[in-house]
Chain A
């Protein structure tokens, strides 16, 4: 007892609290207590550490619980054997035992510090320095953060000349958009004679998507007032106005409170801070006309006249409000001033670029994860703002462009992500810094529609005073609307450019002069989109709804009628649905398995929850519908066509040509038809019998096949050219690109496509026990998953960028990971190491990411000294594919591009430089997708047919009447959120034992549920 009594009085440096509640007791806390007591005793810590048993602390599921004070660290599920480590590490060495800490069950992640989050960490707060820290309605809190000390210094210690000098030294450009140096502007106003002068704050923020000024006024209104006081002292003004739009009620409210409080404290009014200087401010609420952001219109509005601009000069610094010298700056500019005075112009100019100093606030909005307000040093690249601070594009979609500068600005496209936020660089790129609105657009944005939107805005907001702006913007808007609605005409682009030049030159004020900028900038970078709208009446982004039936159909390279076949699934009419599929696609059951389904990216349902599983529904139809019988088509024409290559492009062309009555022969080097479908894609994704059935249908039409026949080896190319009326070269890209490193010819090193070809030819391949696959495309993934199935012990993929940069489809990458393929990211091989001619290892180096390349991905560069060796006994190099065009070298005149693809002549898509020879598929486009090859085959068939008919003087081909299939319109009144129906798969552990198909297809119920999710965008409003 005596001992215990002394202990109670004693100070211990550390307390170990053990929960002794019933819950913890039952999970063994008494044993834990004993263990701790033993450890404390053993280390002679009895006088320093006190062990206390407490009551239940409520977290019984995680017991036994031990809390160590003074740090207050909680350890969970502590076992007696943990005691030694906790005492040793925590009590003796002061280190937390991480593994016993509580983990949040969902994320498993430790909460980062604010500055560890790139959104915050990469920002530099000057204008926004008080954000989130002070109560905007309490002036004392502003003062506590050095508020009004800048004004005190300016009023008490500085002459106007000194103030102006300091602001000039800072290099602060007016942040409203024009970027005219603030110091210079002040100097002009200071030097203008007159005893009545004004300071105006432009808070008429009107750009769509911009909200910087509003936020500053709401969060830190005194910073603006203080800047205005300093400006007033600099130019000798005694009255100021803040012109704020009435649509910003909270900003106006907080400004009014701030002004009242500042007056009460004598920070506005007479004899400010006892300096003898007087200045007061009033808020003038504007009605929200965009033109009133223009300085002369703004002043007219304050004077009580209609807000319209007037020609300059005279500039406001000479003759401004009521004809008096006036300084007009925007909110952000004024919010910078107090800090510049307090810390000096040099401090301000210490960050930024050569020509643009300090920081800039951007309102980051649009298709970006972290929508918000960011302040960054000048010179921060657009890519950093969008991807690091902004967190990238939601939904894994692709960045397309950043619109900067609002209706006066322009867009920065993906290839210019490295452009710094610097006045000069942005202007060079065809945009303007503007006030700081930054709208991110992803691949689903139509740039013509964007231009139309901004022109609509400007036309709406044009004050009507000058003709170029009033009439010109209207004319431009009409042209843009016509283009978007399918009435575009040849020459419209040039007309837009001409009008733009006139408006830019002749409009009275900034609104008109800059109104054409979004149009010019989108023409500059996205002319092809304008052309697609005008010539092909096609909106590539599937936005301009007058030009298509539904976005899914519009994006499909062969224009599959998705809404129709989905509606037929819902109606239970699978046979009709199958007929709809076959109209545009000879390989629906192949595409139902391996199509890259661009349609699903565009699916409008995706904006609600998840896109429709279009690909899976297509497969459901082909798996379950009775197959339509194929009748041979009689040869009705005398011309004979040769197709070289039995892949999807060649087979599709053969099918279409046979359908038009031609006699068609397909030459194929390998024993079986199908090209990459057979020799590239493994069985577990596309079973052979599925493919064979669709090839058989083409055979049934009457197409002749000659397999095991290579043109240029078994038959000279010249002979084929001579014997046939037209030749279609669809030879694909069946050679792997070399890595270009040492050791590539060792035994055990394969090219990706060569490996898959050997495998699918049935030539047994002995795989290694540790396999490295190099590359991030679908071939790499296919090779990796195949080696696993062939019994490789460990399979890893080496890729030099990040996972999200992989060209392979995400679902394939994830499936590979599920099966146990290891991803080594940001790693590139430098040498394959061999012993006695056999692979034993691969030397790699780590990569780090730098600036952005033209594809919008970060460039990977090697980290010096980061080399390491992986022990492997097999290497598959799948870093790209190319075509073997050696048979074209015989002086036959078919041109080849410098990327080793067959050149097709401009204006068409399939005819080569030699009349009668056509080409398509991967051999022209480089490695692409199945559906693109099918589209190429269709294009080739119609070009070949047109070529022959034109030569014969025949009228163009007219397709026969199609059988009419009525499609029911069932539209649900209410749409409930419901995710995509997941397709069942064979379990990952099971499936790597064989090449059996992984995906099992939808059941009847799943397909029906999925089909009912379709929103039927194709149905026009009644």
Chain B
């Protein structure tokens, strides 16, 4: 990998911003499973696996699954943030595999936010 110069930092920033933004990256939905120790301890890995499996089974191409760290409210873990193109990100709390499958089916595919599991919308 080439050693970076200062200008490269800015280039990477622009490229990544484009890629991480679901709007520009060709992905319709970005789902982030929060995987800090607190999340993992309360079952985030199972939730992540359930999501990845569901994505594979459905064979959808426009959903990006990613992970991130703790957002601070550890007592509500596992947390999953679903960001559908053009809509407010929705953070779901105390997720398990069943809830994850439901969110995938109804929200990520169906476009219908699963209010009963939602903690909040928007970003901090």
Contacts and interface: CB of A to CB of B under 8 A. Distances in A.
Interface of A: 104, 106-107, 111-117, 119-120, 123, 125, 128, 130-137, 140-141, 143-144, 146-149, 152, 156, 211, 214-215, 218-220, 248, 250-251, 264-267, 271, 273-274, 369-375
A120 B124 contact: yes
Nearest to B16: A144
Contacts of B13: 143-144, 146
A716 B66 CA distance: 85
B1 A374 contact: no
Interface string B81-124: 10000001011000000000000000000000101101111111
A219 B69 contact: yes
Contacts of A113: 88, 120-122
Nearest to B36: A218
A113 B88 CA distance: 9
B50 interface: no
Given A125-B124, A135-B66, A265-B4, 11 more contacts: A114-B91, A114-B120, A117-B119, A132-B32, A141-B20, A144-B12, A251-B37, A267-B4, A273-B4, A273-B6, A372-B38
Given A111-B90, A113-B121, A152 B3 contact: no
11 contacts: A111-B121, A113-B88, A115-B124, A120-B72, A134-B68, A215-B38, A215-B70, A271-B3, A372-B38, A372-B74, A374-B72
Interface string B1-41: 11111100100110111001000000000001010111010
B81 A149 contact: no
Contacts of A372: 38, 70, 72-76
B118 to A, nearest CB: 5
B122 to A, nearest CB: 4
Given A115-B122, A148-B9, A274-B3, A143 B16 contact: yes
A116 B72 CA distance: 16
A485 to B, nearest CB: 33
Contacts of A146: 13
Closest 3 CB pairs of A and B: A219-B69, A266-B3, A132-B71
Nearest to A369: B75
A496 B72 CA distance: 38
B67 interface: yes
A218 B37 contact: yes
A134 B5 CA distance: 22
B124 A123 contact: yes
Interface in B51-82: 66-76, 79, 81
Chain B interface size band reads 35 or more
Contacts of B3: 265-266, 271, 274
B4 to A, nearest CB: 5
Contacts of A144: 12-13, 16-17, 20
Contact of B124 (A106, A114, A220, A251): A114
B6 A114 contact: no
B68 A117 contact: no
Nearest to B115: A104
A132 B69 contact: yes
Contacts of B119: 111, 117
Contact of A274 (B6, B75, B116): B6
Contact of B68 (A116, A133, A248, A273): A133
Q: Which of A130, A132, A133, A370 has the most CB of B within 10 A?
A: A132
Contact of A132 (B9, B34, B115, B121): B34
A274 B8 CA distance: 11
A111 B120 contact: yes
Given A104-B115, A113-B122, A372-B73, A136 B12 contact: no
A889 to B, nearest CB: 57
A117 B74 contact: no
B90 to A, nearest CB: 7
Given A104-B115, A370-B75, A373-B74, A215 B69 contact: yes
A132 to B, nearest CB: 4
Contacts of A250: 36-37, 40
A106 B116 contact: yes
Contacts of A218: 36-37, 69-70
Contacts of A111: 90, 113, 115, 118-121
B72 A128 contact: yes
A257 to B, nearest CB: 13
A146 B70 CA distance: 20
Nearest to A264: B1
Q: Which of B37, B70, B72 has the most CB of A within 10 A?
A: B72
Contact of B123 (A116, A128, A133, A135): A133
A219 B6 contact: no
Nearest to A216: B69
A66 to B, nearest CB: 16
B36 A371 contact: no
B37 A211 contact: yes
Contacts of A274: 3, 5-6
Contacts of A215: 36-38, 69-70, 72
B12 to A, nearest CB: 5
Nearest to B123: A114
Contact of A273 (B5, B17, B79): B5
B85 to A, nearest CB: 12
Q: Which of B4, B113, B115 has the most CB of A within 10 A?
A: B4
A886 to B, nearest CB: 55
A266 B71 CA distance: 29
Contact of B12 (A106, A140, A266, A370): A140
